Amino acid sequence: MTIQFHLQTATSKGVERLDAQLLMLHALGRSQSDRAWLITHDDDELSEAAALAFHNFYQRRLNGEPVAYIVGSKPFFGLDLQVDKRVLVPRPDTETLVEWALTFNAAHKILDLGTGSGAIALALKSVRPDWQITALDASADVLAVAQNNAKLLNLNVIFLQSSWFDALTTHHIKPTFDLIVSNPPYIVEGDWHMAALAHEPKQALTSGADGLYDIRSIIAEAPNHLNEGGWLLLEHGYDQAAAVCDLLTQRGFTQVQSQQDLARIDRCSGGQWVST
């Protein structure tokens, strides 16, 4: 049977066409960027081994497993990141946070809280190699993924195991930064969206009854780790901008504002710390 036949079989069962193509490329051992090759070779016969692999892959997709976990990688801000079930799959929405952070040209020391796969820290480092970037995560397993990505991409980022800010003074790092960025958990416990995220680590997704438990903690502590005039930038849920901005203002941040993603949804909010 041909590549086209197997792709049509998968899509007829409910697999999205792009997902099916990416899974087919993985079954063939080809790069995820080879979709053009796939289209021009759709009449090629698929080997029994590749057909069996493809069937297994699309069955996993039908069971809700993200394509990124099946193929083991996910593009983010021009980088090819290795991912597995230890970390969240990087989302395009998070590129909004990266783009905002890159506008702070005067920044030199940057802290990424809850780094996960290392997506934010590594994207920033790839564009601004002169920045000193420290990335923290509470899980040693998660940090192993981020450190491997840094090694594969040849990007020098400092990684430390830490529950938010806890490890900074322990590791004798000067605990102040020009810019703190974070994509923390922000989904409400029991939210219906969680059904579609069942394969991803819950601890990296949910944050209390209103989804703001971790954001509150970060905002409360961040001024102790910001240089004068430094900024805190946070990704949050599609309907949380007003609440996050209120928390920033109450804590004493100035120039509090939000940034929209490509869908024109307020996806990130932040503010500047100026001591009084």
User: pLDDT at position 72, please?
Assistant: 94
Residues 258-269 have a mean pLDDT of: 94
Pairing verdict, β 226-235 and 266-272? antiparallel
User: pLDDT at position 30, please?
Assistant: 87
Q: Is the pLDDT of residue 193 over 90?
A: no
Indicate the pLDDT class of residue 12, thresholds 50, 70 and 90.
very high
Residues 57 and 178 in one domain: no
Q: Which of 71, 94, 109 is the last residue of a domain?
A: 71
Residues 41 and 163 in one domain: no
Residues 40 and 67 in one domain: yes
Residue 18 class from Cβ within 10 Å (0-12 exposed, 13-18 middle, 19+ buried)?
A: exposed
* CATH code for the domain of 118: 3.40.50.150
* CATH code for the domain of 22: 1.10.8
User: pLDDT at position 190, please?
Assistant: 67
Domain membership of residue 159 as a residue range: 86-272
User: pLDDT at position 206, please?
Assistant: 66
Q: Which of 43, 71, 99 is the last residue of a domain?
A: 71
Residues 161 and 90 in one domain: yes
Residues 164 and 241 in one domain: yes
CA torsion 255-261-263-267 (nearest 10°) is: -60
Q: Is 90 left (phi over 0), alpha (psi -120 to 50) or beta?
A: beta
Q: Which of 71, 94, 119 is the last residue of a domain?
A: 71
Whether 58 contacts 13, CB under 8 Å: yes
Residues 122 and 34 in one domain: no
User: pLDDT at position 167, please?
Assistant: 85
The 10s digit of each residue's pLDDT in 81-92 is: 999 999 989 999
The top-scoring range by mean pLDDT among 1-10, 182-191, 248-257 is 248-257
In the chain the beta strands, taken as DSSP E runs, fall at 73-76, 79-82, 109-113, 132-137, 158-161, 177-182, 226-235, 254-260, 266-272
Residues 169 and 237 in one domain: yes
Residues 72-81 have a mean pLDDT of: 94
Residues 240-264 have a mean pLDDT of: 95
What mean pLDDT value characterizes the chain?
Answer: 90
Indicate the pLDDT class of residue 259, thresholds 50, 70 and 90.
very high
Residues 17 and 108 in one domain: no
The residue type found at 78 is G
Domain count along the chain: 2
Residues 142 and 267 in one domain: yes
- The DSSP letter of residue 222 is G
Residues 150 and 19 in one domain: no
What pTM was estimated for this model as a whole?
0.91
Residues 204 and 261 in one domain: yes
**Would you say residue 222 lies in a domain?**
yes
First to last CA, the chain: 72
Closest by CA position to 128, among listed 96, 92, 102, 164: 102
Percent of the chain surpassing pLDDT 70: 92
Residues 20 and 97 in one domain: no
Residues 92-120 have a mean pLDDT of: 95
Taking the C-alpha atoms of residue 123 and residue 146, their distance in angstroms, rounded to an integer, is 12
**Would you say residue 78 lies in a domain?**
no
Query: Which tokens go with 136?
Result: 């923290």
